[in-house]
């Protein structure tokens, strides 16, 4: 009986299984290398809308991958780390756009500070644990990729590739700079961030954070503390930040409630125009204008972070000027003091007593009457023998306008028949009119015989105003007009009222003023002597007919910034 041949040692099932297992492991390792790149391509196609954006994305992806490979030598782990950074950037950029209508750019990274982290962890109390949880999940995955990755790339060629991609991005960004107005578009997160980095670093190397002349003719004298000697009684001064308020009659075709417009007039019946430097959201631009008396536009691409950059560096402003004249200074702020470094910035300009939303017990949005009531209480506490400057920052008319804020108020209100957000905007303006009238009545009753100068201003137009002003323009056309500072998009109002006081007539109290001149207008209307810096700025104002940064294409503002630097009132910029 023949014995069947026995199989050789490599033909049995165990050996075949081993080969199959090795192939499976090899496939998983290849997938670990390829998956991040495939995901990046999908993200690029979903978020970058044109060829320039996609080209910028690919160069950025090349920089990230080659950088990590040069550091770690493992392409799978490098791809995963690059993808993680891209995803985090997109999520943060979309979050910023939801809050401020602008996507993230490189300057966000350049000016990260303690206040930024404190603000985020305060408004998102679970964020710290989310970060820790994400790290606990991510670290084991990264360790697994370290083990699965079969490849080892050489460091020198990888570093050279990273530098080549960086050179390509720099050359491309400088030759074809991204338009600033595209920052308002909710797309192109990675390419816009990368290209903005090239321009921001280039600008910083050339100019620093702020535009200023290399040298200036003349010098400013540093004012002495006791050099202010008013020749008439000093009024208490109340400065009211009227959130998102402008005369909507500037837009064609809007249906108005009866009596609309009286709120924008001053004690003398005149309606005056205030030219803000932001549209739709950046209240801190105007905060910088009316407290420091300077232009956010001098900061160029860094303007969005003006209060954060100026904190501790710009030690000049209306509150300091008033303190020199014997005033106590007080501010009520409707958000957390860490937001855009508001607390530190206002202290820098001379505010002595700063109360933020937490100090005041304010919720997310409060009525104007809430802040007026808090102001009256604090004024009773601080208003003694010295005159008082009170900065009241309102928030009831803040976006969004897609819901009925405090429907229990103004029950007799009837919508005028506009788009819902416009009618809600008009309703909130009507609430502001009522609350302001009640505030003035309370001042008269609570402080009988005390003199008050009250100045109100609209900090910027609402975010929907460009679509009302130019209904035929698309987003690109609107963006270009915003970038060129078309006055129709930046005009709001300022108004002067008085109680037991006659505002002083002055050529500086013009019918139209740029935002940085409002501190000068206030001092002139109050009859206060000007310190040397405001005396110089008054000459600029009269020479430029109410324009500041726009006068001589920024030359006057740059010269003035140099004078303040030489006087030690601006440092480190």
Residue among 61, 456, 515, 97 at smallest CA distance from 286: 515
Which of the four pLDDT bands, split at 50, 70 and 90, describes residue 398?
Answer: confident
pLDDT in tens, 432-449: 999 999 999 999 999 999
Please state, for a pLDDT cut of 90, what percent of the chain lies above it: 57
Which pTM does this prediction carry? 0.82
The H or E element containing residue 433 is helix 420-446
pLDDT at residue 191 tops 50: yes
In this prediction, residue 5 carries a pLDDT of 46
What is the pLDDT averaged over residues 51-69?
A: 91
The sign of the torsion formed by the CA atoms of 110, 111, 114, 118 equals negative
pLDDT in tens, 300-309: 888 888 999 9
| Protein fold of 236-251+263-566 | Alkaline Phosphatase, subunit A (3.40.720)
pLDDT at residue 520 tops 60: yes
Q: Which of 186-200, 442-456, 527-541 has the lowest mean pLDDT?
A: 186-200
In this prediction, residue 92 carries a pLDDT of 81
Peptide bond into 400 cis (omega under 30): yes
236 token code pair: 């208490």
In this prediction, residue 364 carries a pLDDT of 81
What is the pLDDT averaged over residues 300-323?
A: 92
Segments of the chain assigned to CATH 3.40.720.10: 236-251+263-566
DSSP character string of 189-255: HHHHHHHHHHHHHHHHHHH-SS---SS-SS-PPPPPTT----SSPPPEEEEEEETT---GGGSTT--
Which of the four pLDDT bands, split at 50, 70 and 90, describes residue 100?
Answer: low
pLDDT in tens, 12-47: 555 544 445 444 446 766 776 788 889 889 999 999
Which of the four pLDDT bands, split at 50, 70 and 90, describes residue 101?
Answer: low
Q: Which of 113-122, 214-223, 409-418, 505-514 has the lowest mean pLDDT?
A: 113-122
Question: Which one of 165-179, 184-198, 409-423 scores highest in mean pLDDT?
Answer: 409-423
402 token code pair: 């897609």
The residue with greater pLDDT, 87 or 270, is 270
- Asked if 162 and 180 touch (Cβ cutoff 8 Å), the reply is no
Distance CA 344, CA 340 (A): 9
Q: What are the distances in angstroms from CA 415 to CA 404, 418, 432? A: 11, 8, 16
- Asked if 478 and 179 touch (Cβ cutoff 8 Å), the reply is no
- Asked if 492 and 249 touch (Cβ cutoff 8 Å), the reply is no
pLDDT in tens, 544-555: 999 999 999 999
In this prediction, residue 427 carries a pLDDT of 97
In this prediction, residue 251 carries a pLDDT of 95
pLDDT in tens, 114-147: 655 555 555 455 555 555 666 666 666 666 666 6
């Amino acid at each position: 009986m023949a014995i069947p041949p026995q199989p050789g040692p490599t033909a049995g099932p165990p050996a075949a299984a081993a080969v199959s297992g090795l192939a499976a492991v090899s496939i998983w390792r290849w997938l670990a290398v390829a998956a991040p790149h495939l995901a990046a391509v999908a993200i690029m196609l979903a978020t970058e809308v044109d060829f320039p954006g996609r080209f910028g994305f690919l160069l950025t992806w090349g920089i990230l991958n080659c950088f990590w490979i040069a550091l770690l030598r493992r392409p799978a782990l490098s791809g995963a780390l690059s993808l993680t950074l891209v995803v985090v950037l997109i999520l943060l950029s979309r979050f910023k756009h939801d809050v401020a209508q602008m996507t993230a750019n490189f300057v966000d990274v350049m000016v990260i500070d303690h206040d930024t982290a404190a603000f985020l962890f305060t408004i998102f109390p679970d964020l710290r644990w989310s970060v820790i949880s994400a790290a606990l999940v991510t670290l084991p995955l990264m360790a697994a990729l370290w083990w699965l990755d079969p490849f080892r790339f050489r460091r020198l060629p990888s570093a050279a590739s990273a530098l080549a991609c960086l050179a390509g991005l720099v050359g491309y960004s400088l030759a074809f700079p991204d338009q600033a107005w595209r920052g308002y578009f909710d797309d192109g997160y990675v390419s816009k961030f990368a290209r903005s980095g090239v321009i921001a670093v280039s600008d910083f190397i050339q100019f620093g954070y702020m535009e200023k002349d290399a040298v200036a003719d003349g010098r400013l004298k540093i004012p002495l503390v006791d050099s202010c000697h008013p020749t008439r009684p000093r009024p208490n001064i109340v400065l009211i930040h009227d959130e998102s308020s402008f005369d909507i009659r500037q837009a064609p075709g809007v249906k108005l409630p009866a009596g609309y417009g009286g709120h924008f007039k001053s004690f003398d019946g005149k309606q005056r125009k205030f030219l803000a430097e932001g549209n739709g959201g950046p209240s801190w631009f105007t905060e910088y204008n009316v407290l420091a008396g300077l232009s956010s536009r001098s900061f160029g691409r860094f303007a969005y972070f003006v209060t954060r950059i100026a904190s501790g560096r710009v030690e000049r402003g209306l509150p300091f000027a008033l303190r020199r004249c014997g005033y106590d200074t007080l501010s009520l702020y409707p958000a957390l003091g860490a937001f855009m470094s508001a607390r530190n910035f206002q202290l820098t300009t001379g505010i002595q007593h700063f109360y933020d939303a937490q100090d005041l017990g304010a919720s997310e949005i409060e009525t104007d009457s809430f802040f007026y009531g808090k102001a009256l209480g604090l004024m009773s506490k601080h208003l003694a023998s010295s005159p008082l400057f009170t900065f009241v920052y309102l928030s009831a008319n803040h976006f969004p306008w897609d819901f009925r804020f405090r429907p229990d108020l103004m029950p007799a209100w009837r919508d005028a028949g506009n788009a819902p957000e416009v009618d809600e905007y008009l309703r909130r303006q009507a609430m502001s009119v009522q609350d302001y009238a009640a505030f003035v009545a309370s001042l008269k009753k609570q402080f009988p015989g005390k003199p008050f100068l009250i100045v109100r201003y609209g900090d910027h137009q609402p975010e929907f105003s460009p679509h009302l002003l130019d209904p035929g323009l698309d987003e690109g056309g609107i963006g270009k007009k915003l970038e060129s500072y078309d006055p129709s998009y930046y005009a709001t109002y300022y108004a002067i009222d008085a109680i037991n006081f006659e505002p002083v007539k002055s050529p500086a109290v013009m019918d139209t003023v740029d935002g940085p001149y409002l501190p000068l207008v206030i001092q002139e209307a109050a009859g206060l002597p000007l310190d040397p810096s405001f005396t110089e700025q008054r000459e600029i104002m009269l020479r430029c007919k109410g324009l500041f940064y726009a006068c001589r294409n920024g030359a006057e503002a740059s010269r003035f910034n140099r004078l303040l630097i030489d006087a030690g009132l601006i440092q480190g910029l």
